Chain A
């Protein structure tokens, strides 16, 4: 791949968390009052690596699929890239001035007692948009979300699919350069999801755009991703542009702890339902 087309580079990222609630609080207090600069690379009792030596690049025009079993560190990694969690070890590099927009929890910041239209202003402002930006993009959001009159109903009455329509439309209206979609399109009806996938594919054709698409839905990834990275227990264990091969690796890896006979049977079941 063309090195000049890298828009985001993740280099040697580590992140650790604490398993036990009381140790979690104790270390928090200790790091705050006693030892503000603990040796980060040393694991203390009850700590574990949520992310270990993560390295990858996101190229312009790419939809990079990120898969991994539950708890493999995908969301922690996305939170680090988004800047929600502080970076302790490693580097995240990007072209200067790049706008990163992430969609994690669809309803984050949305107010159930306010209308969809009022929530466009709240969520848009949360993404850093000004009043003028939001008003300029209102027609696009109305049209893309296809919510019609329902935009003037309370957001609390929206179904998950309608919430997804609105949240996704606002996020894309923010015109991100690096767009992080973390399971955000798991809900929503087939028509809207297909529209979003088509939109994402066209979106990354614009100069300087790329998408990090976190999902465990293999079927979706086969259709949308241009490259896949597989995560397991906080490590990046596989990377390939051969989507089919990467997804087979991922499924086999998920089933690695069971014996051959059961694995074969499970593999057939997964392929039946997911591929």
Chain B
């Protein structure tokens, strides 16, 4: 076949050269902006589809957290859980802690499954996959708002008084979101090529909840557990926003800032790895 024709006007359709981190990141931001209507549609779809077949629909957003509050109140009033020394009522403490933990764990879970759950979609249409990542994170944040508001009402019922500084709470959650998302993005890649590692990561994240002061207080008698809690960054990433909201005070500020800095750097490292290998690994995805 003769292919010696003039192709003066033609330009490469896709760049296959290696791009630096900044170029990739700015490309990500540009694509999310360009496909903002797709992002909006996907967010709407994700939220509505979960309740579309339900007669009470979005009311589930309120019912589920209320049930969760009731469980902790019942467990505590029955004396099943002994949390140790507390500055605020136990149900209020555990409610807020589990809520922040769920925010972390959820950000890990949704991003770590982003390729597996959307694989068929990703190989059937050309669109920037960063839109899917952004959609998952935004849906996660939106889904956090309702249970969080229920928690606030519960905290008020327990006599918690909020300080003006508590308004910083949403910002104080950013590091824990970035940490969960970063780990999730790395595990999303491992789910394609190293299933055993990804399963191990799921187990470790689940186990980590018991090594973080969520259902127990940070002041622990057991020395080995106390040491683990001390070196666990989530102790500070969860404890800081919790104390900020419930007591208007800064919990271990220096350690929180240090862990936040590391979380932000870790997130950028993970996103650069994800951006570099996601497209390459997608072709190895076996859709089940």
Contacts and interface: CB of A to CB of B under 8 A. Distances in A.
The answer to whether A and B belong to the same complex is yes
Given A93-B13, A105-B124, A108-B124, A32 B277 contact: yes
Which of A18, A21, A24 has the most chain B CB atoms inside 10 A of its CB?
A: A24
A130 interface: yes
A153 interface: no
Contacts of B16: 86-88
A57 B41 contact: no
Interface string B101-127: 000000000000000000011111111
Contacts of A3: 5-7
Given A6-B7, A84-B126, A108-B125, A17 B283 contact: yes
A18 B127 CA distance: 25
B3 interface: yes
**Interface range on chain B (Cβ under 8 Å from partner):** 35 or more
A134 B40 CA distance: 14
A125 to B, nearest CB: 4
A128 B193 contact: no
B71 interface: no
A78 B40 CA distance: 28
A39 to B, nearest CB: 15
A92 B45 contact: no
A130 B124 contact: no
Contact of B280 (A79, A86, A105): A86
A18 B277 CA distance: 17
Interface stretch (B30-38, B162-170, B209-217, B261-269): B30-38
**Chief secondary structure at chain A's binding surface:** mixed
Contact of A55 (B1, B10, B189): B1
A88 B41 CA distance: 33
B281 interface: yes
Contacts, number: 135
A243 to B, nearest CB: 17
A173 to B, nearest CB: 15
A25 B192 CA distance: 7
A125 B31 CA distance: 13
Interface string A102-117: 1011001101011000
B19 interface: no
A122 B38 CA distance: 7
Nearest to A25: B193
A121 B11 CA distance: 31
Contacts of A84: 122-126, 282
Contacts of B13: 8, 81, 83, 92-94, 98, 100
14 contacts: A25-B192, A25-B195, A32-B189, A84-B124, A86-B14, A86-B283, A93-B10, A98-B13, A105-B120, A108-B121, A111-B45, A113-B49, A114-B52, A127-B125
Given A92-B14, A104-B125, 4 more contacts: A32-B277, A102-B126, A111-B45, A122-B45
Interface of A: 3-4, 6, 8-9, 11, 17-18, 21, 24-29, 31-32, 55-57, 79, 81-88, 91-96, 98, 100, 102, 104-105, 108-109, 111, 113-114, 121-122, 125-131, 134, 236, 239
